[in-house]
Amino acid sequence: MRTPQERFEENYMAVDVPANNKRGFRIRYVYYGPWYVWNEPDGVIRREKVVYILACLLEALCFLKAATCECAINYHVLVGAPAMLSMAAFLFKAIGTARFCAAGKRMTHPTYQEISGMMKVAGNLESVLLLATSVASVFVMVNKRLPASVLLVAAGYLAAFVFSVVICVRFKKLKYATEKNEIASRRPRSCS
């Protein structure tokens, strides 16, 4: 496994830049790795960013509404454990969504890997955990013979699951391409 320093040195190069200081130059790190570019029109990327933000907000609202309901379902370990784990996965996916929305059309290799990893891994894990929470809610309701009104809690978890799946599926459909970095062909003079 590579260290963060090795991964950084894989894509960045130190170059001397003239400066008004004692040495006459300063060191600047220039990215020379490949660029990852969304292979979609600008309007599509903007629309996807809006959809992801709205789906994240609606998912959080549905989850919080279901999770804060004072009923016996939420106190059962079969429901509480996957619900808490799904919330942790949601935080990673929300960070990935924020990074995706803040990123431009062209990204560095490390940025693309970070966004893609958070959106795919955390998103899929969260979807599975939300589905497990919803199924466990129905199971506990039937097993404990609770009134049908608590079915709204399971519906809230299921709605959060649907919004999570929407984000995961839409992100997987986005196409990207790699572009060669112009700096890589010029290779600036490196520091000695």
Angle, CA of 181, 101 and 129, to the nearest 5°: 115
**What are the helix (H) ranges across the chain?**
4-11, 42-67, 77-102, 109-117, 123-143, 151-173, 182-186
pLDDT higher than 70, residue 108: yes
Q: What contacts 109, CB < 8 A, 6 or more positions away? A: 11, 33, 34, 36
Q: Which residue has the higher pLDDT, 163 or 17?
A: 163
| DSSP-derived secondary structure letter, 69 | -
Q: Identify any residues that bridge with 26 across adjacent strands, giving them in sequence order.
A: 17
Average pLDDT in the 62-87 region? 92
Least confident of 23-27, 128-132, 156-160: 23-27
Q: What is the mean pLDDT of the chain?
A: 89
Q: Identify any residues that bridge with 178 across adjacent strands, giving them in sequence order.
A: 36
Q: What percent of the chain clears pLDDT 90, i.e. is strictly above it?
A: 56
With cut-offs at 50, 70 and 90, classify the pLDDT of residue 60: very high
Closest Cα to residue 119, out of 100, 103, 96, 98?
Answer: 96
Asked if residues 106 and 129 have their Cβ atoms less than 8 Å apart, the reply is no
Phi, psi at 110, each rounded to 5° = -60, -40
Phi, psi at 146, each rounded to 5° = -80, 160
Q: Which residue is listed with tokens 């309007």?
A: 43
Q: Which residue has the higher pLDDT, 163 or 105?
A: 163
Look up the pTM and report it. Answer: 0.82
Two tokens at 85? 């784990």
pLDDT higher than 90, residue 89: yes
Asked if residues 178 and 2 have their Cβ atoms less than 8 Å apart, the reply is no
Amino acid at 66: A
